[in-house]
Amino acid sequence: MNGPSKFNWTGWLVFGLFLLLWECGSRASPKLQLYIPPVSQIVVALSHLIVSGQVTTHLLTTMRRFLEGYLLAAAIAVTVGVALGYFRFAHSLTEMLIEFLRPMPSVAIIPVAILLLGIGDGMIVAVTVYASTWPILINTIDGVRHIERTLIDTGRTFGLARRRILWQIVLPAASPYIVTGLRVSLSIALILVTTAEMIAGNKGLGFFILDEERSLQSSNMYAGIILVAALGYVLNRLFVVLQEKAMKWRRGMVAREGL
Amino acid sequence: MREPKLNGMFFLLALLLVWELAARAEWVNPLIVPAVSKIVGTFSELLWSGQIPLQILASLKRAAVGYALAAAIFIPLGIFMGLFDNIRRALEVTVEMLRPIPPPVVIPAAMLFFGLEDEMKIFVIFFSCAWPILLNTLDGVKNIDRVLLHTASTFGLPQRKIIWQVILPASSPQIMTGLRVSLPIVLILVVISEMVGSTDGIGYFILDAQRRFRVAQMYAGMLALAILGYVLNQLFNLAHRSLLPWHWGMTKRME
């Protein structure tokens, strides 16, 4: 519907107007300025934070925690998911457990994690793993269960070893589902990392944003929010690029995301 | 189908039994992982004393207002963006710029503005479910068969009637999807915003219990939250079934 390469002039114009309105509105009212500083001030604060390197450690910490948690969750969830999807008996055992744990908002695990692991990196990574496991796990189970039995039976008839059936039939056939799960978990992992950093952290962007709010440095706080948003955006783009590379064979079948 | 259900039940019970034994035999520190029986006891105590219902009510109120507000604003906006290409293009960039912000980091900004009041949480919830509702509605409207719209206007239906009798029903499954996707997000954001800045609500209750080292209470709060999540999901299904019976039947058959 929308031309892929056509530059959206009106869209950017409206966004520019929005920023201009923000700038003028904030400059017009000194009271408002305390809460919502002018855009120009936020941009200055942001570039200052980046140039002085003040925010680098926070950004790197958040990224490291995110990657550790996300990748660990992916490894665990895909492995367990394939096993549970493939072996009906194992699935029947754990189905109730999964249905019972899943509806609980995953952030509620943070207090338990603090209790068990204390305040620190381990806790933050652990809650990220816990929360981002669910979407991948559920989707992987679904994906494996939806594979046509004939595919696997054919593989067997041709005498393929179990390992090769796994790598050459089960994983590729379930991969669209797995990718969906991975995608959902991407934003969940970022939510959990920043939340855990806000509740119990002394480093990281989540901590930085809340800390700046508490010391009423609102420009720095907004700069931090922009950084997190940028991080989320870049991670998402990266995911899409990797996904298109890996899933070239079924491009066009994948639903379009966003607008 | 009955046998797997039984299997699952037995497995769950066995797990709980192991937990109970492990806590009683002190293989794990019972101060950190209390016995299941103790958690359930605390839970029922807190339930009857009215403490848990009170906290859940506080959370639910915020969740409901934020969710309803987001639906009331972003469903109509999504319809307009889906119907008029130039409105969509005009707002596209702004939406794409705001969307990647992870909702929890909005909490500090909202705290600056609203303090620790209810409005803060309501705003955060409103913000967090805005995008799934908006984008799903938009997609739903955009994917309506154009023949439907042309037929309606050929028969001279006024714009208002077209919206109510053609567009809304035709895009309702997608709108429902947006509302469904938002439901767990709402719950997560209520809990987070109560943990970060609040003096009541179930999220506050859980974190507070942990900080005071009332461990059984903490687990009881989590149990309450899990039940809440489950009940909300069931209620949503019920609403879905009674509002869109035809669609509900379709999705069930597909599963």
| Cβ distance of B102 and A112 shorter than 8 Å | no
What value does the mean pLDDT of chain A take? 88
Task: Please identify which residue in the block is written with the tokens 């919206």.
Answer: B163
pLDDT tens, residue by residue, A199-208: 987 889 999 9
pLDDT at res. B40: 93
From the list A49, A95, A61, the residue with the least C-alpha distance to A204 is: A61
Q: Which of B105, B135, B144, B255 to mutate: most A Cβ within 10 Å?
A: B105
Residue A47 has pLDDT above 90, yes or no: yes
Residue B252 CA to its chain's centroid (Å): 21
Low-confidence winner among A96-105, A232-241, B166-175, B227-236 (lowest mean pLDDT): A96-105
How far apart are the C-alpha atoms of A230 and B26, rounded to whole Å?
A: 47
From the list B85, B172, B8, the residue with the least C-alpha distance to A10 is: B85
Does some domain include residue B3? Answer: no
Share of chain A above pLDDT 70, in %: 94
For residue B90, which amino acid is it? A
> Which residues of chain B have a CB within 8 Å of the CB of A110?
195, 207
Confidence of residue A258 (pLDDT cuts 50, 70, 90): very low
Residue A40 has pLDDT above 60, yes or no: yes
Tell me what ipTM this predicted complex has: 0.85
CA atoms within 13 A on the CB side of B55: 30
Does some domain include residue B8? Answer: no
> Which residues of chain A have a CB within 8 Å of the CB of B219?
112
Q: A69 and A244 in contact (C-beta within 8 Å)?
A: no
Residue A136 has pLDDT above 70, yes or no: yes
Q: Which residue of B has its CA nearest to A109?
A: B222
Q: Which two tokens stand for residue B51?
A: 């403490």
Does some domain include residue B22? Answer: no
B254 touches chain A (CB under 8 A): no
Sign of the CA dihedral with B108 first, then B111, B116, and B119 last: negative
B91 touches chain A (CB under 8 A): yes
Q: What distance in Å separates residue B209's CA from the closest CA in chain A?
A: 9
Residue A2 has pLDDT above 50, yes or no: no
B143 touches chain A (CB under 8 A): no
Q: Which residue of B has its CA nearest to A89?
A: B4
> Which residues of chain A have a CB within 8 Å of the CB of B107?
198, 210
From the list A16, A212, A191, the residue with the least C-alpha distance to B104 is: A191
Domain span at residue B139 reads 38-249
Read off the pLDDT of each residue in A93-110 and give the average, rounded to a whole number. Answer: 87
How far apart are the C-alpha atoms of B37 and B135, rounded to whole Å?
A: 45
| Cβ distance of B102 and A103 shorter than 8 Å | no
Q: Which residue of A has its CA nearest to B91?
A: A11
Question: A-contacting residues of B 55-84, CB under 8 Å?
Answer: none
pLDDT at res. B135: 93
Nearest by CB to residue B15, choosing from A91, A97, A236, is A97
pLDDT at res. A34: 81
Does some domain include residue B205? Answer: yes
Question: What does each of the 255 residues of chain B score in pLDDT, given as a tens digit?
Answer: 456 678 888 888 999 999 999 988 888 887 888 989 999 999 999 999 989 999 999 999 999 999 999 999 999 999 999 988 889 999 999 998 998 899 999 999 999 888 888 899 999 999 999 999 999 999 999 888 888 888 888 888 888 888 888 888 889 889 998 998 899 899 999 999 999 988 899 999 999 999 998 999 999 999 999 999 989 988 998 888 888 887 776 665 544
> Which residues of chain A have a CB within 8 Å of the CB of B92?
8, 11, 259
Nearest by CB to residue A96, choosing from B11, B95, B222, is B11
From the list A11, A59, A193, A232, the residue with the least C-alpha distance to B100 is: A232
pLDDT at res. A254: 46
pLDDT at res. A245: 85
pLDDT at res. A257: 45
Number of domains in chain B: 1
Does some domain include residue B4? Answer: no
| Cβ distance of B138 and A105 shorter than 8 Å | no
Q: Which residue of B has its CA nearest to A108?
A: B222
Read off the pLDDT of each residue in A92-112 and give the average, rounded to a whole number. Answer: 87
Residue A228 has pLDDT above 50, yes or no: yes
Q: What is the CATH number of the domain that holds B194?
A: 1.10.3720.10
CA atoms within 13 A on the CB side of A58: 29
> Which residues of chain A have a CB within 8 Å of the CB of B138?
259
Read off the pLDDT of each residue in A62-73 and give the average, rounded to a whole number. Answer: 95
How far apart are the C-alpha atoms of A56 and A185, rounded to whole Å?
A: 25
| Cβ distance of B94 and A107 shorter than 8 Å | no
pLDDT tens, residue by residue, A171-193: 888 998 999 999 989 989 999 99
CA atoms within 13 A on the CB side of B88: 19
Q: What is the pTM of this model?
A: 0.86
pLDDT at res. A229: 93
pLDDT at res. A249: 66
Name the more confident of A250 and A237.
A237
Does some domain include residue B214? Answer: yes
Does some domain include residue B192? Answer: yes
Confidence of residue A54 (pLDDT cuts 50, 70, 90): confident
| Cβ distance of A199 and B207 shorter than 8 Å | yes
DSSP sequence for chain A: ---SS---HHHHHHHHHHHHHHHHHHHH-HHHHHHS--HHHHHHHHHHHHHHTTTHHHHHHHHHHHHHHHHHHHHHHHHHHHHHHH-HHHHHHHHHHHHHHTTS-GGGHHHHHHHHH-SSHHHHHHHHHHHHHHHHHHHHHHHHHTS-HHHHHHHHHTT--HHHHIIIIIHHHHHHHHHHHHHHHHHHHHHHHHHHHHHS-SSSHHHHHHHHHHTT-HHHHHHHHHHHHHHHHHHHHHHHHHHHHHTGGGTTTSPPP--
Does some domain include residue B1? Answer: no
Q: What distance in Å separates residue A195's CA from the closest CA in chain B?
A: 6
